[in-house]
Structure 1
Amino acid sequence: MPLFSPRRLAPLLALLLLAGAAPARQPQPLSTLPYAPSLDPSSLDREVDACVDFHRFSCGGWMKNNPIPPDEAGWSVYAKLQDENLRYLWGLLIAAAEPGSARAAHEQKAGDYFAACVAAETAADADTGLAALAGPLAAIEQLDSRAALAPLLAGLHRLGAGHSLFRFGAEQDAADSSQVIAVADAAGLGLPDRDHYFKRDKASLALKRAYQAHVARSFELAGATPVQARSAAREVLGIETALAAASLTSEQKRDPRGVYHRMTLAELQGLAPGFDWRAYLEASGVAADTALNVTQPRFMRALGGLLAGRPLAEWKSYLRWHLLRSQSPYLSPAFAQAHFDFYGKTLEGIESMPPRWKQCVQWVDRDLGEALGQMFVEKTFAPATRDAAVAMTRHIEDAMRARIEALDWMSEPTKAAALAKLQAISDKVGYPERWRDYGGLAIAREGFVGNVQRSLGFERARQLAKIGRPLDRGEWFMTPPTVNAYYDPQMNSINFPAGILQPPLFDPRMDDAPNYGNTGATIGHELTHAFDDEGRQFDAQGNLRDWWTKQDAAAFKQRAQCVVDQYSHYTVVDEIRINGRLTLGEDVADLGGTILAYAAWKAATAGQDLQARDGFTPEQRFFIGMAQWACGNERPERLRLQALNDPHSPARHRVNGVLANMPEFAQAFACKPDQPMVRAKPCRVW
């Protein structure tokens, strides 16, 4: 449950790291990270009434002065800081790419990967770029029976086409959080969300036509005639539409119990008898007696029918497409351009490809993230910063403890369980206690595609090796330079990478008010996820267990419904409104996190003589700090996409929707009861 969906960091992160010419913006590597204050008066728009639109009041100046760069789908305080981190990492990697005995092992791996990536911009085969895929393409062409599909698919998944047909991997067991089991999940789509295949409005139909044309174009680049390519694209779209029809919606997938179905191999084989699951596990190096979580049994049942009912030639077209889709960013400029034209330009409105340096840094972060992260932490993250972040986290946890104890709608037995869960939360700050070992991964200074394929295979093997073993609770799922944070309900941990603990988000030079409003609200956001509509279903050890009385659960749902109703009235773009049930967990976390941060700030500064600064009272500075993390602009294409599958509300509503529920805000800015930033009946969950 990250503060932002990966892409802002993904689902499209892998799709947007594309090869190609650099856009007009040509920054230089950074030798030091720049400073920006966590409360910036120049970001304000003082012509806007704070009680009418506080987000615009706090961010209007920033939005005016920070247009979206041509290689981005949106631009925000977070995105700008991430970009600066990337530029700093770029400088570190340039140095690490210089051969020499002085390089540490983690620097050498990251530097050689980066050197090969940069060199590949001019070394790629300008005609096809398919040489690196000759083997798997030949294997697909030689597929002569459905019985041979399973081991072939295992190889494609190992190569990087990990979402072809379905996703298979390792996950913490929801019923026994101390163990790792296998997971078989619905996947197999080339569009970001299953609803893209069924929406009938004009824009959605145009998007689907553009997608089919892109699939055909990719087949042509791979050597098909135009007629063959169009026919194969129709086959792909037909299979994906059938898979989408059997898949859960984004909203349905938010129910942890709805996506946990522990099975044996025999039970899974009974669901999809047309696929040799035993052969797939054997080819993947996974024991046949392993326990599996089959997240969507209906999908697997439908997959079995599709495999039996569609001609083998259609499945070969489907597999070719998903191999090409997964590898296109690393191939020739023609493949990368075609990939970007759909996934970047059409889908998100991005005007030009990211420059090569940025792609290479991001790929290093993906494939050698803790090697690169170690370099980043060594240069940027002071122990005092970590200590200050830990102290703030403890203050906010104290505020949560006080709130739970004071709740008038929760019974004592449920309060006791909630307090036990709070006490058990692990606070992970900055970076892992133990760095990941990449010793078994071979990285060459030449042959970038080979590095990518070996890296993806290495990570897949690392993940599958966890199955059947005890959980490593020290593992992180974001790299240290990442400007994001997350709560893991099964680990019962809140995680704040070093990348997010720097100005303008966490600012040691600034007073406590904006720091608590900004980073404090982020800490509170992640902490509240432990008690949102999903997180509350896991206990202190991270097991999926109902620790609520029926009356308390009903009281929670009643309060959460207030949030659903509030946000469902907000417009995203055009006529599209927020899906309040999809965004419920994040909206509850935004609200609860800000309330906790305000209470923690008041407790931490009790008895201090706080003074006004920059013309604002300490209380006003808290709320401006809270709002200015969300300064940003986004393209309408991205907003439409996020409305469909992003569990986060747009930034404007993440500010205004929260503060309209807080009497403390209305008092700080002397708002009148009938103004937009004051709700007549405030929502309050935690």
Structure 2
Amino acid sequence: MVRSPLLLAASALALTLSVGGCKVSTTEDKPVAAASGGALGIKPEALDKSVAPGDDFYAFTNGGWMKSTEIPADRSSIGAFYIADQVREKNTRELFDNLLKSDQDANSNEGRIANYYKAYLNTDAIDKTGMAPAKVDLDAIAAIADKKALSAAIGSSLRADVDPLNSTNFQTGNLFGIFVTQGLNTPGETLPYILQGGLGMPEREYYLSADGKMADLRGKYQTYIQSVLQAAGYLDPAGAAGRIVALETKIAQAHASREESEDFSKAAKVWTRAELEKNAPGIDWTALLDAAQLGGAPKFQAYHSTAIPKLAALVGSEPLDAWKDWLAFQTLNAQANVLPKPIRDASFAFKGTALQGTPQQRPRDIQALNATSNALRDAVGKAYVDKYFPASAKAEVQQMVDRIKAAFAKRVEALDWMAPSTKQEALAKVKSIVVGVGYPDSWRDYGAVTITPDNAYANAKAASLAEYRHQIAKIGKPMDRAEWWMPPQLVNAVNLPVQNALNFPAAILVAPFFDPNADPAYNYGAIGSVIGHEISHSFDNNGALFDSTGKLRNWWTPQDFARFQKAGDALAKQFDAYEPLPGLHVNGKLTLGENIADVAGLAAAYQAYQDSLGGKPGPTIDGFTPDQRFFIAYGQAWATKMREETLRGRIATDGHAPGQYRAQTVRNLDPWYGAFDVKPGQKLYLKPEERVKVW
């Protein structure tokens, strides 16, 4: 999940059987519906009852599903998020189909949606037009005559395309990424953040790793670059591709590591305009910032303060022609999906197949639907929630949020090792979290955005520029704590550390995460654990360093923080031991923030579920006890199958551990042992003193 990540069982006589020392139940010879509608919620047919829960809880909860489910040819992975996203996709398809039945005013949101979709879908027109839409951009790059003009070209390419705080997104093909929110240590003051960028592959390790598979990807990447430049009519595509890879390798060497990037304490440097120019010579900063519409910004959050000077120096030292080749390629790479077929196909062959192992492209109409939804997020989002997100669902989830917040606060109050001063700060923070459920209170105005039905390239650029202008318009203004960073039509959820806020988009509030017809044990185990996860991000290894105002400030006593870190070290070691492929281990340090949020969030969700019962026992349904349903719902929410290429990329670059290991989080919660009669000697068993308890 984000700073990131089962249905109905038919009514039948439940048969109880012994599975690895615990008692669970199943239904026999009855079909299971593919949609919501029953109290049980969990999917008995997804279980593998031949596996003891105490040996492999993921295989127990999802083994049947793993055996019966294939990854579609046009997907790199599949799982619970995919299931929920199928609902989102079906709804959006229906929404668009109804909208396209009649002509829409081009100046309305409906007209913009229709025009963006039509232009993106019409590959015949895109192919016929060829490189003409990109000609102005490519001609401008070709005309660059000196480093001042190069700096301006780099500046004009910058977009608000990274998010280090909320969604741990550090990747941009532009030389720098821009992000705008309250400064890490400037409460109440909104700043532009400058991040490292410039790579066409996901991150630095793809360029620098000695691993043979990474080296193979470097060769495929250079072939991809050559294919794109050849399709664009470059005179020497092979030579240019070599120069681009050489330049990007130097850029990668300048980058901070992923682990360093996720350490907010290393990012808390504010530079004035004068300090930016002094600390990072090589670029003409006046030309760059003016072109980026940031010339009036008095200060910047130098998020990657060690990388920015090195990247600036490369602008000054590397040959102008190499930079021009790089700019041309990155321009085409960013717009590959709306350029002629040879470029589209080359892009998918590398990004889809080489990087992720996906053998087949998604149908163009689905690509058009999703591209439109991403480009016009609020326009599509408002139409989506108006039709598909009932007020009753919003109210029920809001009630769960309130209960889980209260449960988290109760758990903090009960800590006997925490000093009163630390506890007071923690309670102030959890009680002041702002939670958005379903959709934002206000919507983006797209009135200044021109979208035509016949120029997909121009539409993509216009939408990206509109988003950038929206973001930089916030500079110098008070932070809006109610601002949303995800559209409603996204299957995800997010914690916003400097806002001390959470967003739960409407699209995740469906099965297998939320079922209004299911028993509360299921919903607290599924969406409740997601809610608890996001609340707990405010108290993970990074979130715990922000106070209730969103300022990066250590509010811990030294003794308390040492104990907190000790628990984190134990959890990192636990995840380091997981080995999804021979010799390939999960990085416990890289994934620590997400893993802390999983442990603490699941514990808070369980506490909230118990509190919701008011001291009364929960019902046993079809032979499953309440605690069994709670934990199985959690395990099934992390159902995951990935192609090997995707899995390797996840381990190398993602702060989220693969789902099969997130499901094993249950081994740290005492009630799980009782629910499934887990005994010493079973593979997941941890002695009580070894179970990681964070919050």
TM-score, scaled to structure 1: 0.92
Aligned to 1:156: 157
Q: Is residue 36–residue 504 contact of structure 1 (8 Å, CA) maintained in 2? A: no
Aligned to 2:126: 124
Paired amino acid for 2:417 = W
Q: Is residue 55–residue 652 contact of structure 1 (8 Å, CA) maintained in 2? A: yes
1 CA distance for matches of 2:230 and 2:480? 45
Aligned to 1:233: 241
Aligned to 1:630: 638
The alignment partner of 1:575 has SS state of coil
The alignment partner of 1:660 has SS state of helix
Shift of 1:180: 1.3
Across the aligned residues of Structure 1 and Structure 2, the Cα RMSD in angstroms comes to 1.9
The alignment partner of 1:429 has SS state of strand
Q: Deviations over 1:409-454 (max 9, x none)?
A: 2100000010001111001100001111111111122222221111
Given the superposition, is the C-alpha separation of residues 102 and 363 from structure 1 closer, same or farther in structure 2, using an over 3 Å criterion?
Answer: closer
Aligned to 1:68: 71
Aligned to 2:685: 678
Aligned to 1:59: 62
Q: Is residue 335–residue 460 contact of structure 2 (8 Å, CA) maintained in 1? A: no
Q: Does the alignment pair 1:98 with 2:98?
A: no
Given the superposition, is the C-alpha separation of residues 101 and 145 from structure 1 closer, same or farther in structure 2, using an over 3 Å criterion?
Answer: closer
Given the superposition, is the C-alpha separation of residues 104 and 241 from structure 1 closer, same or farther in structure 2, using an over 3 Å criterion?
Answer: closer
Q: Structure 1 stretch 276-285 or stretch 521-530: which is displaced more?
A: 276-285
Shift of 1:279: 1.8
Any unmatched runs of 5+ in structure 1? Answer: 6-32
1 CA distance for matches of 2:64 and 2:486? 31
Aligned to 1:21: none
The alignment partner of 1:251 has SS state of helix
Q: Deviations over 1:588-625 (max 9, x none)?
A: 11111111111111111133342221221111111111
Paired amino acid for 1:661 = N
Aligned to 2:30: none
Choose from 212, 217, 223 the match for 1:202: 212
Q: Deviations over 1:344-386 (max 9, x none)?
A: 0000000101111211111112111111111111111111111
Paired amino acid for 1:190 = G
Aligned pairs (5 A) from 1:155-194 = 155-157=156-158, 163-194=173-204
Q: Does the alignment pair 1:661 with 2:657?
A: no
The alignment partner of 1:547 has SS state of coil
Aligned pairs (5 A) from 1:110-121 = 110-118=113-121, 120-121=122-123
Paired amino acid for 2:130 = G
Q: Is residue 290–residue 468 contact of structure 1 (8 Å, CA) maintained in 2? A: no
Q: Does the alignment pair 1:80 with 2:78?
A: no
Aligned to 2:165: none
Q: Deviations over 1:620-678 (max 9, x none)?
A: 1111111110112111111100101111111111011x111122111111111111121
Q: Structure 1 stretch 552-561 or stretch 105-114: which is displaced more?
A: 105-114
Given the superposition, is the C-alpha separation of residues 87 and 122 from structure 1 closer, same or farther in structure 2, using an over 3 Å criterion?
Answer: farther
Shift of 1:111: 2.2
2 CA distance for matches of 1:633 and 1:423? 37
Choose from 484, 500, 504 the match for 2:512: 504
Q: Is residue 130–residue 340 contact of structure 2 (8 Å, CA) maintained in 1? A: yes
Q: Is residue 482–residue 497 contact of structure 1 (8 Å, CA) maintained in 2? A: yes
Aligned to 1:562: 570
1 CA distance for matches of 2:277 and 2:368? 41
Q: Deviations over 1:37-65 (max 9, x none)?
A: 64111211122222211111111122223
Shift of 1:404: 0.6
2 CA distance for matches of 1:108 and 1:673? 63
Given the superposition, is the C-alpha separation of residues 390 and 103 from structure 1 closer, same or farther in structure 2, using an over 3 Å criterion?
Answer: farther
TM-score, scaled to structure 2: 0.91
1 CA distance for matches of 2:293 and 2:197? 21
Aligned to 1:525: 533
Aligned to 2:146: 145
The alignment partner of 1:573 has SS state of coil
Q: Does the alignment pair 1:454 with 2:436?
A: no
2 CA distance for matches of 1:294 and 1:445? 40
Paired amino acid for 1:106 = N
Q: Structure 1 stretch 412-421 or stretch 569-578: which is displaced more?
A: 569-578
1 CA distance for matches of 2:468 and 2:160? 9
2 CA distance for matches of 1:592 and 1:298? 33
Q: Does the alignment pair 1:618 with 2:626?
A: yes
Aligned to 2:44: 41
Paired amino acid for 1:188 = G
**Percent of aligned pairs with the same amino acid:** 33
The alignment partner of 1:293 has SS state of strand
Paired amino acid for 1:571 = E
Q: Deviations over 1:516-543 (max 9, x none)?
A: 1111111110111000100011010111
Aligned to 1:26: none
Q: Is residue 265–residue 288 contact of structure 1 (8 Å, CA) maintained in 2? A: no
The alignment partner of 2:215 has SS state of helix
Shift of 1:104: 10
Aligned residues: 654
2 CA distance for matches of 1:528 and 1:481? 23
2 CA distance for matches of 1:385 and 1:321? 46
Paired amino acid for 2:195 = D
Q: Structure 1 stretch 163-172 or stretch 136-145: which is displaced more?
A: 163-172
Aligned to 1:8: none
Q: Is residue 178–residue 194 contact of structure 2 (8 Å, CA) maintained in 1? A: yes
